[in-house]
Amino acid sequence: MPSSVIPMPCNESLQVNNAEAVAKMKAYGCMKISSSELEKMLGKIGYRISHKDSFDYTNTSNEISFNARSVCIVEGDTGLHFNNPNTRRDNNFRKLQKIRNEFFVFENDRIWEL
């Protein structure tokens, strides 16, 4: 192995604890909703989920590792990702940020990261 390559530890011992991660989110005051509830909330303010740009992975960057889904939220009319510098920063954007901070989805054994 070249000296510039740092071997990474094997994740065989990775402990995924979805239940603990969900409990922690609830303890922080976040409310669990269904994906259909989320999609309705987003639609009311002009956003939608881009399912083709969303993906599943295991979040290991927090104190609790958990199965996650990275959810790509886009403007309904432009298709631009909400954090793109060319998207609107209007009242609906502020409502979106409130949704992202106050709600979460847990489906198919994954916490959706909004």
The identity of residue 80, as a single letter, is: L
Region of residue 47 (left: phi > 0; alpha: psi -120 to 50; beta: else):
beta
pLDDT one-digit tens code per residue, 56-87: 999 998 889 999 999 999 999 999 999 999 99
Q: Please name the helix (run of DSSP H) or strand (run of DSSP E) that holds residue 46, with its range, or none.
A: none
109 vs 69: CA distance, rounded Å: 10
Give the predicted TM-score (pTM) of the model.
0.84
pLDDT at 14: 63
CA atoms within 13 A on the CB side of 2: 2
Q: Please name the helix (run of DSSP H) or strand (run of DSSP E) that holds residue 40, with its range, or none.
A: helix 35-44
How far are the Cα atoms of 9, 11, 60 from residue 5, in angstroms, in the given order?
Answer: 13, 18, 21
Q: Average pLDDT across each block of 10 residues of the chain; the chain has 114 residues. List them in order.
A: 43 77 95 98 98 96 92 98 96 98 97 96
Domain residue limits, the chain: 37-113
5 vs 8: CA distance, rounded Å: 9
pLDDT at 62: 82
